[in-house]
């Protein structure tokens, strides 16, 4: 009992935080009216680093673009000094373009007659060292470890010809050409120099003194250089869908449809297979791995999701091959509600741990679900994202939209969750108990135009475990939705209420 509690009386539950007022911050790569988007420019991955001072995006053209925060640098001082003031709450975060580099190129596997796209599937930041930035990027088959740092530019300060002693226009070049032309081919194949006598006279006259060695000096100007430190290849038979760094700073995992491999950052020629769900007979295959992520603080724990809508938590201390899970999180559908689309819409496209590691957020086609890792009986909260599309599942199946893989993210304090939708919309929900926060925003072509709708959500069910369902209302008339524009990728700033989201080739930033 705390000092303020009265004997026998439980304290009232804390009220949920008020809904945030989201505002547009900035946009990179905004399209002009009527401009067509090139396929290679479409953003396919977004990731903040742990400090939130750097943001990385990857696109379908295999490029990685880095942005750095500038508003805290303009104020001077360190981030810790800024956090002591109200500055981070009075001005919105501002980022600027830092650099970009070509991470992956299109390849062709001749043994399997398979074309490998250069598209960046995932980006993950690694620990910084000596002012250099480190990150992992992957396409379908190959993972690369990049180091980005500033290096001083070296320049040639002097030419190798003394201009005071140079004769004519290009005396060194002309003398070289004349010496070559004076070489004649003899009958026995040997070369004889006709001008050897004249050259000796030039050397004796001191003409060689006009040649000077180039002098290379380091200037004060710096240039960002991206260098590939490691290439982790030939370890996956299927497309890589996830990479995740371990909290130990030394290892990471990569996952494809059937296997999860464990790598050491410093060793690129071998990996350890820790999860293998491939059956002896492929006809017996019933589910595949869709996403995998390490626990943010426990280096021995990781979670992976499947196409059947389940999440498995595994402990690497139990065995080297983690085929047996320590916990299983899944929600069973009632038999009467099953249909042809049940398994398709139940497939989890993305999972994220909360910053403290207590919760796991999962996204399937219809919903967001928040799971408590200490309670595997069911999700503690379910947020309806696409419930209004249920009558149109047949059409969505015909145009393949039902297979779209939307990502999800949590705020640093764990009080809110977010995910994307169609027509470049994204939705923010309050995850606190009894919260009714449900905000819909549009990453539009006109950045100053916002569409925010805050609709009190209805609680459809509740129990002692505080299981609630929120949302479900359509963000607009579903007939006006554009299924060709979809907001699949977004990321939440680790310490502030700021969201970066990708709408085709444009990167939009919002803050609250």
- The residue with greater pLDDT, 19 or 456, is 19
Vertex 369 angle, CA 316 and 437, to 5°: 135
Q: Spell out the domain ranges in the chain.
A: 23-41+236-511
The structure tokens 């060194």 sit at 172
Phi–psi pair at 107, nearest 5 degrees = -130, 170
Percent of the chain residues topping a pLDDT of 90: 60
pLDDT confidence of residue 496: 94
Q: Is 299 exposed, middle or buried (0-12, 13-18, 19+ CB in 10 A)?
A: middle
Residue 116 · residue 239 · CB < 8 Å: no
Quick check: 38 pLDDT over 50? yes
Neighbours of 388 (CB within 10 A): 18
Tens digit of each residue's pLDDT (9 = 90 or more) over 46-82: 999 999 999 999 999 999 999 999 987 655 444 444 4
Strand-by-strand arrangement of the 416-420 sheet: 408-410, 416-420, 425-430, 438-442, 453-454
Class of domain 23-41+236-511: mainly beta
Tens digit of each residue's pLDDT (9 = 90 or more) over 369-423: 999 999 989 999 999 999 999 999 999 999 999 999 999 999 999 999 999 999 9
Long-range pairs, 171-174, Cβ under 8 A, ≥24 = 171/210, 172/211
CA dihedral 318, 356, 345, 137 (to 10 degrees): -80
Alpha carbon distance 261, 10 (integer Å): 48
pLDDT confidence of residue 324: 87
Give the torsion sign (CA, 144, 150, 151, 155). positive
Alpha carbon distance 386, 323 (integer Å): 33
247: left (phi > 0), else alpha (psi -120 to 50), else beta?
alpha
Neighbours of 391 (CB within 10 A): 9
CA atoms within 13 A on the CB side of 335: 0
Alpha carbon distance 146, 135 (integer Å): 5
Quick check: 460 pLDDT over 70? no
- CA distances 373 to 30, 72, 182, 369, Å, are 40, 36, 84, 12
Q: Is 130 exposed, middle or buried (0-12, 13-18, 19+ CB in 10 A)?
A: exposed
Please state which of the ranges 90-104, 167-181, 370-384 shows the lowest mean pLDDT. 167-181
Residue 52 · residue 496 · CB < 8 Å: yes
Please state whether beta strands 381-384 and 468-471 pair in parallel, antiparallel, or not at all (unpaired): parallel
- The residue with greater pLDDT, 453 or 27, is 27
Burial 450-482 (b: 16+ CB within 10 A, else e): eeeeebebeeeeeeeeebbbbbbbebeeeeebe
As a whole number, mean pLDDT of residues 91-119 equals 90
Alpha carbon distance 101, 229 (integer Å): 14
Vertex 185 angle, CA 181 and 190, to 5°: 120
Q: What is the mean pLDDT of the chain?
A: 82
Alpha carbon distance 424, 422 (integer Å): 5
Quick check: 467 pLDDT over 80? no
Residue 466 · residue 375 · CB < 8 Å: no
- CA distances 418 to 59, 361, 426, Å, are 21, 10, 7
H helices within 45-151, ranges in order?
Answer: 71-75, 79-83, 87-90
Alpha carbon distance 495, 83 (integer Å): 10
pLDDT confidence of residue 207: 52
As a whole number, mean pLDDT of residues 357-380 equals 95
């Amino acid at each position: 009992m705390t000092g303020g509690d009265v004997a026998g009386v439980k304290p009232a539950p804390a009220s949920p935080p008020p809904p945030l007022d989201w505002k547009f911050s900035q946009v990179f790569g905004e399209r002009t009216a009527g401009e067509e988007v090139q396929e290679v420019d479409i953003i396919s991955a977004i990731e903040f680093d742990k400090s939130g001072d750097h943001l990385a995006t990857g696109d379908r053209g295999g490029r990685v673009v880095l942005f750095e925060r500038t508003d805290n640098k303009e104020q001077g001082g360190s981030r810790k000094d800024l956090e002591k003031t109200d500055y981070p709450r009075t001005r919105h975060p501002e980022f600027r373009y830092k650099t970009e580099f070509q991470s992956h190129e299109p390849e062709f596997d001749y043994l399997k007659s398979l074309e490998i796209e250069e598209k960046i599937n995932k980006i993950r930041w690694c620990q910084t060292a000596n002012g250099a930035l480190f990150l992992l990027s992957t396409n379908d088959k190959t993972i690369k470890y990049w180091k980005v740092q500033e290096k001083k530019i070296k320049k040639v300060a002097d030419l190798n010809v003394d201009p005071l002693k140079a004769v004519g226009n290009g005396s060194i070049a002309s003398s070289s050409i004349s010496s070559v032309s004076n070489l004649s081919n003899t009958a026995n194949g040997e070369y004889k120099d006709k001008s050897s006598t004249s050259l000796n006279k030039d050397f004796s006259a001191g003409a060689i003194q006009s040649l000077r060695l180039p002098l290379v000096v380091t200037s004060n100007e710096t240039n960002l250089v991206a260098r590939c430190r490691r290439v982790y290849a030939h370890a996956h038979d299927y497309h890589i869908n996830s990479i995740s760094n371990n909290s130990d700073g030394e290892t990471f995992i990569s996952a494809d449809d059937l296997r999860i491999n464990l790598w050491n950052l410093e060793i690129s020629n071998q990996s350890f297979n820790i999860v293998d769900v491939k059956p002896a007979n492929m006809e017996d295959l019933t589910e595949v791995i869709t996403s995998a992520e390490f626990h943010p603080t426990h280096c021995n724990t990781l979670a992976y999701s499947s196409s059947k809508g389940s999440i498995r938590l595994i402990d690497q201390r139990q065995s080297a091959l983690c085929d047996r899970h320590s916990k299983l999180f899944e929600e069973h559908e009632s038999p009467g509600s099953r249909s042809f689309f049940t398994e398709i819409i139940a497939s989890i496209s993305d999972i994220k741990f909360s910053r403290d590691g207590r919760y796991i957020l999962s996204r399937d086609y219809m919903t967001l679900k928040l799971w408590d890792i200490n309670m595997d009986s069911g999700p503690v909260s379910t947020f309806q994202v696409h419930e209004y599309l249920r009558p149109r599942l047949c059409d969505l199946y015909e145009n393949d939209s039902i297979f779209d893989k939307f990502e999800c993210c949590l705020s640093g304090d764990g009080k809110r969750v977010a995910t994307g939708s169609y027509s470049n919309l994204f939705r923010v929900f309050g995850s606190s108990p009894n919260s009714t926060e449900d905000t819909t925003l549009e990453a539009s072509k006109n950045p100053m135009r916002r569409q925010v709708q805050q609709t009190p959500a209805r609680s459809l069910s509740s129990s002692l475990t505080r299981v609630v369902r929120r949302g479900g209302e359509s963000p607009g008339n579903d007939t006006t939705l554009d299924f060709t524009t979809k907001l699949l990728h977004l990321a939440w700033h680790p310490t502030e209420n700021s969201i970066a989201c990708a709408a085709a080739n444009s990167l939009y930033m919002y803050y609250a």
